[in-house]
Amino acid sequence: MAHLLVQNDDVVVRLSWREALAARRKGVRVPLGDVREARVEPDWWRALRGTVERGRWRPGRFCTGTRRHATGVDFVAVRAPGPVAVVELFPGRGLARLAVSSVDPDGAVKAVRLAARRYGDDDEPGSAGTGVAAPGEPETSPDAAT
Average pLDDT over residues 86-104: 94
Number of folded domains that form the chain? 1
Identify which has the larger pLDDT, 133 or 50. Answer: 50
In a domain, 57, yes or no: yes
d(CA 22, CA 87): 21
Which structural domain, as residue segments, surrounds residue 82? 3-121
pTM for the structure as a whole = 0.81
The residue-averaged pLDDT of 84-113 equals 95
In this predicted model, what pLDDT tens digit does every residue of 32-60 receive, in sequence order? Answer: 999 999 999 999 999 999 999 999 999 88
**Residue 137 included in any domain:** no
Task: Give the DSSP letter string of 40-73.
Answer: EESSGGGG--SEEEEEEEETTTEEEEEEEETTEE
Residue 104 lies in a domain: yes
Residue 138 lies in a domain: no
**Is position 139 within any domain?**
no
Is there a domain that residue 146 lies in? no
Return the closest-CA partner of residue 48 out of 63, 37, 29.
Answer: 63
In a domain, 128, yes or no: no
